Amino acid sequence: MTILRGLGAALLVLALGAGPAAGQGTLTVQVTTEPPGLDLTTNPSSAIAGVVFYNVQEALVKVDRHGKLVPWLAERWYTTDSKNYTFFLRKGVRFHNGREMRAADVKFVLDRAVNPETKHPYRVQYENIQDVIVKDDYTISVTLKRTEANFLWTVARQGSVIYPREAVETLKSAPLGTGPFTVGDWVRGDRIVLVRNRDYWQKGLPRLDKVTYRFIPDPNSSLAALKSGDIDVSAFGLGPENVDDLKKDGRFQVILGDSTNDVTLSMNNSKKPYSDKRVRLAITHAINKEEVLKGAMFGYGRILGSNVDPLNPYFVDVSKRVTYDPVKAKKLLAEAGYPEGFEATFKVAPQYYYTVRSAEVVVNHLAKVGIRAKIQQVEWGQWLAQVFCLKPCENPDYDMSVIGHAEAWDIGNFANPKYYFRWDNAEFQKLFKESEVTVDDKKRRELYVKMQQMLADEAPAVWLYMHPRLVVTKKGVTGIWKDLPIPSLDLSEVGWQK
C-alpha cells in the first residue's frame, strides 16, 4: 500500500508562512557556551546547533515545537517499505549566496555524510544509505541497505542540514544554508550576530532583523545582564535558584518545559574498575538522585533511569530499577575486589554550570561508600578532545564525567562500542539493530522498553536527571518554544509583541 506522508503538515507550514513581510527590531540572547565552530557536519557540540540549526541551516524534514516530524525543505516524501524513499523538494528555496537549492545539493550532502573520509560526527547514522539518485532538480530518491524505522529522524537531525557544495570550506566560520538568518559577524569570545535573510522561503519570517548571541557562562552574570537590560533572553545557563524570584518580577516571563537533555554521569567502560558491571551498579546505588536534582537544579527537572527522555514517545520510567542503596553499593564494591573503594577523577566542563554542581553532590555520595573522587575542571575544547575523544583520539582519557546529552533519539550511542562510553554489549547491540528495522509501532515500542530496562540494569552510565527547559525573557518577547525536543534555539518565529 502506498504511503504518502506529510501532506497535511505541508499545508500547515504553507499556511503559517503566509502573511506580510516581517523583520522588526533586534534581540540579544544569552547562551552559556561559545561554539567551537559553526559546522554541524564536523562537530557534535549542541552549542553549534543552538546557533545554526533552524536559524542558519535547515534540513529536509523538521522536528517542530511539539516533537513531531513535519515537511520542510522537502515539501513531501513517499515510501512503501521504509527502505526506498522519494523526497520532493520545495521549489524556489534559495541558499544565502542566492543560488536555488536543487536535488544535486541534497545528494552532495548525503554522500558526504556517508563518506568516511569526511569524518562526519554522526556518520554511523548514515551508513545504511546505499544509493542517492537525482531524479530531476526537485526530486531525489534514497535507497537504504535495509529497512530503517528511524530514517526520517536521521534526515531531520542537525547533521543533515542542507548547504551548497561551494560553501564546504567555509562552514566552520561562515555557514551558508537556507535558513531565516545569515551569519553577520562573529567576535570571538564575545558574540555572534545573525542577520535576517530577506529572501527566506517562508514569507513573513523571520520576525526579527538581527539577533545577537552573547556568551555568558556564569549564571550570576547572566542574571545581572538580564536585570540590567543588556540581554533580552536567557536561553541556556540561568541558575534555577533564581526562577522563583524572576516569576514575581513583572519585567520578565519565565518559560519552564521539558527537554531531551539527559544529564549523564559517564564512565569509561574500557578501563578498570568501570569495565566491571558490579562497580558501575555500585556507583549507581551510591547516588541519591533526588539530592543531586535539588543541589544542582533546585528540584527543577525529572529523575531519569536511562537516556530516553520524557519527550520520546517510547519513554518508560526505569529510574526505580536501581535505587539509592549505599549498603548494597559497598557490598558490590567488595564483591568486585574493592572493599576499601578506589580513587577516581571527574573531568567536567565548567562552561555548563550544572556539571560542576552535579559532580560536587555526587562526589560526596561516593565518598560515603569508599570511592574517593576529585573534580578536575577542563575547558570545553579539552573536554571534547580528552573525554568525548573527538578526532584524533585513540582512547578516551577520563574516569568519570558529567555532561548533558541533548540529542534526541540517541539510544544508538550505547550500541556503538566506539562512542566515548566505550560500552560493548552484544545483546544490546542486537536489540538496537532489531529496533531499527522494526516498522510496526507496537513491536518497536516493546524493543525500546527492553533497551531502557537493560541500560538501567547494566549501568554503562548513570542517568541523573533531565535538564529542564528553562528560559527567561523580557516581557513582550513571543515565539519561544516551551519544550525543547531537539538541541536548537529556533528563532524563526520569535519577535516582539506589538
pLDDT per residue over 34-83, tens digit each? 999 999 999 888 899 999 999 999 999 999 999 999 999 999 999 999 99
Q: For residues 356 and 386, is the Cβ–Cβ distance under 8 A?
A: no
pLDDT in the model for residue 151: 96
pLDDT in the model for residue 424: 98
pLDDT in the model for residue 123: 87
**Measured between alpha carbons, how far is 31 from 248 in angstroms, rounded to an integer?**
23
Which residues does residue 27 pair with via DSSP β-bridges, in sequence order? 211
The CATH number that domain 262-466 falls under is 3.10.105.10
**Measured between alpha carbons, how far is 223 from 71 in angstroms, rounded to an integer?**
38
Which residues does residue 192 pair with via DSSP β-bridges, in sequence order? 186, 213
Q: Which residues touch 498 (CB under 8 Å, ≥6 apart)?
A: none
**Which amino acid type is present at position 429?**
Q
Strand pairing report for 262-267 and 461-466: antiparallel
Which residues does residue 196 pair with via DSSP β-bridges, in sequence order? 181
pLDDT per residue over 388-404, tens digit each? 998 778 899 999 999 99
pLDDT in the model for residue 393: 83
**Measured between alpha carbons, how far is 205 from 182 in angstroms, rounded to an integer?**
13
**Measured between alpha carbons, how far is 411 from 421 in angstroms, rounded to an integer?**
12
pLDDT per residue over 244-295, tens digit each? 999 999 999 999 999 999 999 999 999 999 999 999 999 999 999 999 999 9
Dihedral of CA 112/410/312/54: which sign? negative
**Measured between alpha carbons, how far is 91 from 106 in angstroms, rounded to an integer?**
13
pLDDT in the model for residue 243: 93
Which residues does residue 466 pair with via DSSP β-bridges, in sequence order? 262, 302
Q: For residues 467 and 405, is the Cβ–Cβ distance under 8 A?
A: no
Note the pTM of the prediction, 2 decimals. 0.83
Fold (CATH) for 3-18+34-177: Dipeptide-binding Protein; domain 1 (3.90.76)
Dihedral of CA 230/235/240/244: which sign? positive
What cell numbers appear for 250 in the block?
513583572
Q: Which runs of consecutive H residues, i.e. helices, occur in 397-495?
A: 426-436, 441-458
3-state secondary structure of 433: helix
pLDDT in the model for residue 52: 98
Could you tell me the residue ranges of all domains in the chain? 3-18+34-177, 262-466
pLDDT in the model for residue 6: 39
Q: For residues 83 and 147, is the Cβ–Cβ distance under 8 A?
A: yes
Query: What stretches in the chain show pLDDT beneath 70?
Result: 1-23
pLDDT in the model for residue 98: 97
